[in-house]
Amino acid sequence: MDASHGHRSGCPINLTLEMLGDRWSLIVIRDVMFGNRRHFRELLSRSEEGIASNVLADRLKRLVQNGLLSRVDDPSHKQKAIYSLTEASIELLPLLAHMGAWGRRHTKPSEALSIRAELLEKGGPDMWDAFMDELRFIHLGTERPARSVLAELQAAYLAVVARHSGEKTN
Amino acid sequence: MDASHGHRSGCPINLTLEMLGDRWSLIVIRDVMFGNRRHFRELLSRSEEGIASNVLADRLKRLVQNGLLSRVDDPSHKQKAIYSLTEASIELLPLLAHMGAWGRRHTKPSEALSIRAELLEKGGPDMWDAFMDELRFIHLGTERPARSVLAELQAAYLAVVARHSGEKTN
DNA sequence: AACAACCGGTTGCATTTTAAAATCAGTTTG
DNA sequence: CAAACTGATTTTAAAATGCAACCGGTTGTT
């Protein structure tokens, strides 16, 4: 069982699950990735799912330790921290896209919150690559790409919300 | 927060996570899918990760309730139950393939247990579709497809194990 | 007929993880 | 100087997990 390294097994699926297989880690990454939440309070109070502050603090710490987020001080406020995606978490995008697609098919999601998943599914790997390039620009400081998938997703989301008269502002 | 239905939110990613976001559910599905473990004892004792019997019993029950597994009596043995994948869990294959690919890149998996993920990544969506067709044959009783991805994966796994002199018989 | 091995679990208990709410000290803003 | 805001921590309780023993029934072997 390879307990020598504190892991249940060396299976890549298992190791991924050990890192991300809980109810909150991927929610946090989703919010940083799709909602561009970069601060503790943003993640805490604008969370659709209502994460508790101690759980958020713990997950942020673990995600930073595992190299899925990076944390730097915000120069504009001595107590603010800015959390960014890393290359490793940016590469989780296809996983999240698939998860959204599966959830859209096999659970009963709300229409407004599904539109991003739908668009991302229809866009396919080409759109994912464009989105990942954009995330590298936002979080890693690479060159700005021509296409903004984030803007496309947000526009589609706002359009749905507007169509149903206001439900929430993001 | 849509607490009206006992869900944290209607986001498809969140709903997927509520169903599968724990440390064991996807391990069980992985073993049924890739290891063709169909009985309680097979899942329990041949588990690489050493799941506890009460946790396995709980997960099997929940997965059946959520429509990710089906359970029928084994006609050859009055006490045996046969667990099968459903269309919903068969469609988790792309997710598991991505998870394996990500884990191969960003964790330190063992070579033997990575070979399936590597093959599945290289095979891409074409191979996934062929595998899903095969899983529908095995678990849902559809017509037998020409290609057996399961055999390909198993052969590759055994080749790696043989190359490293025996480690496990799977 | 006797017996051991096997079947899918269950039970009881200790440990670990998670959840919710209140609280905290330092920082910024008015 | 006070209020609001920052990223957390503390406290307490509940839930999940891990572990080992156990269960009644079934099956294959002798």
Q: What tens digit of pLDDT does each residue of B7-64 get?
A: 899 999 999 999 999 999 999 999 999 999 999 999 999 889 999 999 999 999 999 9
The strand pair at A81-85 and B69-73 is best described as unpaired
Confidence (pLDDT) at B98:
97
Region B118-127 average pLDDT: 98
Confidence (pLDDT) at B138:
98
Which residues of chain A are modeled with pLDDT < 50? 1-3, 166-170
**In the predicted model, what is the mean pLDDT of chain B?**
93
Confidence (pLDDT) at B1:
40
List chain C nucleotides near protein: any atom < 7 Å from a Cβ. 6-12, 17-23, 25-28
Note whether B102 contacts A114, CB cutoff 8 Å: no
Whether any strand C atom is under 7 angstroms from the Cβ of B54: the reply reads yes
Whether any strand C atom is under 7 angstroms from the Cβ of A20: the reply reads no
Q: Give CA B88 to chain center in angstroms.
A: 12
Confidence (pLDDT) at A47:
86
C-alpha–C-alpha distance, residues B42 and B66, integer Å? 22
Q: B163 touching A, CB under 8 A?
A: no
Confidence (pLDDT) at A4:
53
Q: B113 touching A, CB under 8 A?
A: yes
Strand partners, A69: A85
Q: A142 touching B, CB under 8 A?
A: no
Q: B92 touching A, CB under 8 A?
A: yes
Q: What percent of chain B has pLDDT over 70?
A: 94
List chain D nucleotides near protein: any atom < 7 Å from a Cβ. 5-11, 16-21, 24-27
Confidence (pLDDT) at B142:
98
* B117 within 8 A of B93, measured Cβ to Cβ: no
Confidence (pLDDT) at A164:
81
Number of H helices, E strands in chain B: 8, 2
**B165 pLDDT more than 80:** no
CB-nearest to B12 from A18, A19, A117 is A117
Which chain A residues are Cβ-neighbours of B49 within 8 angstroms?
Answer: 1, 8-9, 11, 14
Q: What are the CB-based long-range contacts (under 8 Å, 24+) for A63-71? A: A63/A25, A63/A28, A63/A29, A63/A89, A66/A19, A67/B106, A68/A19, A68/A20, A68/A25, A68/A29, A68/A92, A69/A28, A69/A29, A69/A32
